[in-house]
Structure formats: structure tokens, C-alpha cells
Amino acid sequence: MGTDPSIASLLAPLGGDFGSTSASELALVGAACGAVGVWVVYFGRAFLAESFGHALLPGLVVAAALGSSLVVGAIVGVIVAYGVLLLAQRAPRTSDSSATAVGVTLLVAIGALIASQGTGSARFESLLFGDPLAATWRDVAVAAAFALIVGLFLSGFHDRFAALAFDPQSARTIGVNVGLTGALLIGVLAVAIATAATVAGSLLALALLTGPALGVIPLRMRLGATLLAASVVGALTGVVGIYISYYANWPASASVALAACAFAASGAAGGAWLAGRPPSARGAAQAT
Amino acid sequence: MILLGPNGGGKTTLFRALTGELAPSGGTVTIRGRLAYLPQYDDSRLDFPVSVLDVVQMGTLPERRPWQRAGKAVRSRSLEALKRVGLADSAKDSYGELSGGQRRRVLLARTIVQDSETLLLDEPLAGVDPASSEVIRATLDRLRDEGRLVIVASHDVDHARASDRVLCLNRKLLANGAPTEVMTDQVLRETYASDLTVVTSADGTPLFAAAEHHHHHGH
């Protein structure tokens, strides 16, 4: 008995190794990045995440040129970028945001220069904008390991992150190691944006972190539910992006970024709608 | 025990030195056991999606390892602390939707749940509605009766009169002892300098209160 043509058509974007590996990788990375993104938003670190995403470009380019792991290259790129940004922020009479902007621009320029010496233009474009359709089963395994590690990490430090996001001053007074907890957050943010950059590219990686988070935070659910929902939306972002790409014949990573932004816009609209409802109705929504 | 003094008199600075947040410029600080501290200002994010119980349970974080979630014992202790401040029925409510006075009581419960022998409370009644103020005062009295050392920073002279012991502070220690012994006209004038409003009651007894414009309430 053959498959129903309508179902076959529905599953077509996910069919074969080509679609299934891409969707699997995007779903795994999206789920982990969605949860990390909730903390990024609550800690007000979206600008840092964006800066990391762009400034890691030299690491990606060098890894591609050497034929080594892009994830490792991106993580090394983030570490170097963080050092450069901290150094830039020590410039006298310069605000941190201005110094960060200059530092990021410098690193993107260095990435472009290195690429011009050997990496092909098509390859460089894929590092900038991502190429999720090129995912292999090995990439899926790396994404699964990443999702597992991030999940365990966020589970372990959930209560400390919550105390710190709730009120840094009072977190200190109740005995939370504020410096260490803040550093751990930056660490998981760096790993997440580095992994997202290998899938969605240096320029679009941020969408995987902030899009799903902004899609659910305005809905004012409890923290645990918010993190879970952001993971689900993150996974859906990748799959929806694959469908958009398949049917509209648009580049995959741009389609994923558009899906992430659409979820964020939906969240904003949902939040505005909830804010207009009477408090009792909002309370009922929060209890769910 | 009440630390009595005007704003800027050094009450919060002394607390910060006691908690180790500030290094003392002279002398040493010796603490027996753990301290629990309630800061003067509530800078918490009201849009952060945590329940009242979640906030109280944060007080137990230092005794839990990273992967150790709040279990039944912690939950039970936290509910007991909420009961002490009259908010057991609000455990599941969103923290951000409580009134200012209720939030102050939740933060007091978070201080209590730390099971410390010494509690440092910085202006716990500042900006609090009368009902919450009454509950907080009664809770502090019960904690004292249980043998805990409760040190309250306050500029409220009446509050100080009702305590066991008063330390009058205005950039230096001016008096230390039972309220009836140390809260004299001269000590209070020295404590509040020119900021003291002197009010005389109907029978001619002098009453004192700190000038209103120096009250910087939390939000």
C-alpha cells in the first residue's frame, strides 16, 4: 500500500538524507539555543550574543581553511573575540558599547581578510549566512551532544541563574556566587552562539537564540514552562525554516532566521493581547 | 536590637561590613554562625516569572549543590516561613503581582528560611503598608522570642523604644544599651543632629521622630 500523496507532499521537505539531517540538526540546535536564549534575554545579554556571533568569524574561517571542526573553530573564535572585546573596553573615555562595536567590526574584517587569502567565496558566504542543508549525520550527532550538554548545564544551574536574573543584589546577599554564576552564563552563551553560527552562519546565528525566547517570554508563563516552550519553539523554528526554504525556494538559513523573527513577532502580539485582558484572565493563562 | 540613626548615618554600611561585602576601615568583624540579610531596597524584577514560593526557596541556595533542586524538606521549610509572615496562601501567586508590603514580607520569609542565628534587617518597615508593618513587627518579636538575634536598622524612634536594645549611630556609635537608659533627649538630638522633629504629647511628654524628608522608601 503506497503513501497518501498529500502526506508525502507534506513530508517532502523532510524527506531523504538531505532534509532529515538538516531538520534534525536545526531542531536539536534550535531547542538548546531556545532555552539558552531565555536566559540571554532575561540577563539583557542579546547585544553580547550578537557581538559574539559576528566576532567569531575569524575562528570559523580558519577552521574551514584548515578543514577542521567548525564548532571547535567557532568556540575558539568566541574565546578570542571575548578577549579582544574586553581589551577594547579598556580604552579610555570610550563606552563599552562603542568599544564592542569597533572590536566586532575589526574581527569581522580580519575574518574577511583571512578568507580572501584562500577560502572560496561560496564557502565564505556559507560561513556568513550558514548552510544548514549541508548537514551530515555527523553534524546531527554533534548537535545532539550539544543539546544534551546544554540541557544538563541549564538544569544544574537553573536555580542560581533564576536568583541572579531575579535580583543580582539580593542573590549576593543570600550567598550566590554572583561572579561565577555570571561567568557560567557567558560560557554557555558563547558555546550556544558558536554552535548556532555553524548552522545558521555568523550573521544569522542570533536568531536561533533570541527569536524563540522572545516568542514565549511575553506570554508570561512560569519560568520552567517558559524554558520548555522556548526549546519547543526553537526546534520548530528550524523545521519551519526548512519548509519555508523548500516551498519558497529561499536560502535555508535566511528562512530559519525569518521563522525565528516570526515567532518573536507572534510572542510580542500575544503579550500585547494578554496585557489587554483583565488580571484574572492573565492569572489563568499563567497557571497553565 | 535596633540600629537607630538617620539616613546616611552608617547603618547600611555597618551591615555591609558585617556581611563581608565591605572591608572595615578599622577593627575586625567577628561573626558566630551564618548571617541572613534583608537589604533595604527591593531591586527585584517584577516581570520575572517566579512564584512567591520560588522566591523564598532562593534563600536555601547556598545549602544546595548546583544540580540539587528544592526537595520536600526545602519546600516545607519555605512554606513554614511564608506562614510566619502570613502569606502561606499566596505561595503559588506571582511575586510581581503582590503589593509592596507583601513583597517585603516574602523577602523577610526568604531571610527567615536561611535558618541563621542572626538576622540583619535593613529598614524592614520602610514603605510598607500598616497591615504588613504589623505582621513584620510581630514576626520579628517571635524570632527574638525563639532566641535568634534580630538586628534591625531603623530611623523610627518609636520602633527603637519597643526593642530590647538600641545602638544609636550617626557616623559613630553614640549610645548602646536598653532604650529606657540610652534614648535620652540629648542622645537623640546628637543622633539626628538638626534633622530631629520634636513633638510634645498632650500631657507634656516629649516625643521624637526623624524628619520626614529623610525617609527614602523602597519601591
Task: Find how far residue A114's CA is from the centre of its chain.
Answer: 25
Size of interface A-B (CB pairs under 8 A): 78
What is the domain partition of chain A in residue ranges? 17-287
Sheet of B173-177, strand order:
B35-38, B118-122, B149-154, B2-4, B166-169, B173-177
Tell whether B219 is within 8 A of chain A (Cβ).
Answer: no
A28 close to A235: Cβ distance less than 8 angstroms = yes
Residue in A155, A165, A169 closest to B43 by CB: A169
From the CA of B92, how many Å to the nearest CA of chain A? 9
Nearest C-alpha neighbor of B167 from the set B191, B144, B147:
B191
Rounded Cα distance between B64 and B13, Å, is: 29
Contact partners, residue A193, CB within 8 Å, separation at least 6: A49, A52, A53, A56, A78, A205, A206, A209
Nearest beta carbon to residue B114 from set A158, A160, A174: A174
Which residues on chain A are in Cβ contact (under 8 Å) with B64?
159
Q: Which residue has the higher pLDDT, B119 or B206?
A: B119
Distances (CA, A) of A48 to A53, A60, A78, A169, B219: 9, 18, 11, 22, 30
Tell me if A166 and B48 make a contact (CB, 8 A cut-off).
Answer: yes
Q: Choose the closest CB to B48 out of A165, A175, A176.
A: A165
Model confidence over B80-132: pLDDT tens digits? 999 999 999 999 999 999 999 999 999 999 999 998 999 999 999 888 899 99
Name residue, grid cell 553580547.
A48
Q: How far apart are CA A268 and CA A277, in angstroms?
A: 15
Q: Is B110 on the interface with A (CB under 8 A)?
A: yes
Name the residue among A166, A175, A226 with its Cβ closest to that of B62.
A175
Q: Are the Cβ atoms of B39 and A223 closer than 8 angstroms?
A: no
Report how far Cα A185 is from the mean position of its chain's Cα atoms.
14
Please enumerate in sequence order all residues whose Cβ is within 8 A of that of B10, keeping only pairs 6 or more positions apart, or say none. B169, B170, B171, B172
Q: Does B185 touch chain A (CB under 8 A)?
A: no
What average pLDDT does this structure show over B17-40? 86
Q: What is the rounded distance in angstroms from the CA atom of residue B149 to the CA atom of residue A50? A: 49
* Predicted confidence band of residue B199 (pLDDT cuts 50, 70, 90): low
E strand or H helix that includes residue B174: strand B173-177
State yes or no: pLDDT of B162 exceeds 80.
yes
**Given an 8 Å threshold on Cβ–Cβ distance, is B55 in contact with A157?**
no
Cross-chain Cβ contact B21/A42 below 8 Å: no
Instruction: Give B41's contacts in chain A (Cβ within 8 Å).
Output: 169
Kind of pairing between the strands at B2-4 and B166-169: parallel
Would you say A246 and A12 are in contact if contact means Cβ atoms under 8 Å apart?
A: yes
| Average pLDDT score, chain B | 86
B40 → chain A, closest CA residue: A170
> Does the pLDDT of residue B206 top 60, yes or no?
no
| Interval B55-77 mean pLDDT | 93
Q: With an 8 Å Cβ cutoff, are A171 and B58 in contact?
A: yes
Nearest chain B Cα distance for residue A3, angstroms = 46
- Tell which wins on pLDDT, A198 or B218: A198
Among A69-78, A194-203, A250-259, B16-25, which stretch is predicted with the lowest mean pLDDT?
B16-25
| DSSP letters for A171-203 | HHHTT--HHHHHHHHHHHHHHHHHHHHHHH-TT
- Determine the straight-line distance between the first and last CA of chain A, rounded to whole angstroms: 42
Domains of chain B, earliest start first: 2-47+99-214 (3.40.50.300)
Decide if A288 touches B, using CB distance below 8 A: no
- For an interface test with A, which of B61, B69, B120 has the most A Cβ atoms less than 10 Å from its Cβ? B61
Task: Please report the pLDDT score of residue B160 as a whole number.
Answer: 86
- Facing residue for A155 by CB, picked from B39, B62, B67: B67
* A25 close to A132: Cβ distance less than 8 angstroms: yes
The pLDDT of residue A281: 58
Q: Is A123 an 8 Å CB contact of chain B?
A: no
Among the listed ranges A8-12, A266-270, B84-88, B169-173, which one has the minimum average pLDDT value? A8-12
CA distance, residue B45 to nearest chain A CA (Å): 5
Nearest Cα residue in chain A from B48: A166
From A151, A229, A158, A226, select the one nearest A192 (Cα to Cα): A151
Which phi and psi (to 5°) does residue A204 adopt? -110, 0
The answer to whether domain A17-287 has CATH 1.10.3470.10 is yes
Å between B194 CA and nearest CA of chain A: 33
- Using the predicted structure, report yes or no on whether residue B21 has a pLDDT greater than 90: no
Q: A170 contacts in B (CB within 8 Å)?
A: 39, 42-44, 58, 107
Q: Summarize pLDDT for B29-43 with one digit per residue, the tens.
A: 888 788 899 998 888
Say what angle helices A205-216 and A223-248 make with each other, to 10 degrees.
130
